[in-house]
Amino acid sequence: MSAEKVAFFILSGLTLGGGLAILFSVRLMRAVVYLLVSLFGVAGLYILLNAEFLAALQVLIYIGGITILMVFGLMLTGPGQFVNPAESRLKAVAAGVSSLTTAIVLLLIVKKTKWPAGTQALAGDTTAEIGRLLLTDHVFAFEIASVLLLVVLVGVALFVRLARDGGKP
């Protein structure tokens, strides 16, 4: 077995194992840590696909940003504000039916799709090319996205301040 296949199975195991651990986790903080493990597995799979830019985005945005955002959300809320999922059997059954339906639809789509016979390797360094395009041809969109993210950051800070002060400006 090649090293690439071994890496694929390890990373797939991390991703699926982290996902299953999230599913069966009772404590939310542990679920966030399991999410971190699962997202690292996905980033590794992107590297195996020669998509280094997507792997970097996975690490920066999802692992770095979303996971930290979830930790802050857990820190800002009290433990009594969460409902125990075991209390509502109807919600659990509805979630199971919805998940099973989604899985069946996705499997049917995969089965009926005509996949190309071979894959073509990417030529050159895709990360450098994306960086060049972002800073030349698409610089306006890049700047608009950065301003939008700044506005979101200020809005979140204001929201946290209002929530801490009881809604008083």
Selected residue with higher pLDDT from 41 and 76: 41
**What are the tokens at 85?**
């999922």
Residue with tokens 């996975």: 58
83, pLDDT greater than 60: no
Provide the pLDDT for residue 169: 58
For the whole prediction, is pTM greater than 0.75?
Answer: no
Cβ atoms of 71 and 33 within 8 Å: the answer is no
Selected residue with higher pLDDT from 166 and 128: 128
CA distances from 92 to 21, 28, 113, 120, 169 (A): 17, 17, 32, 43, 39
41, pLDDT greater than 90: yes
Highest-confidence range of 34-43, 56-65, 74-83, by mean pLDDT?
A: 34-43
Residue with tokens 């797939």: 12
Average pLDDT on 130-147 reads 87
- Nearest to 23, CA basis, from 95, 115, 119: 95
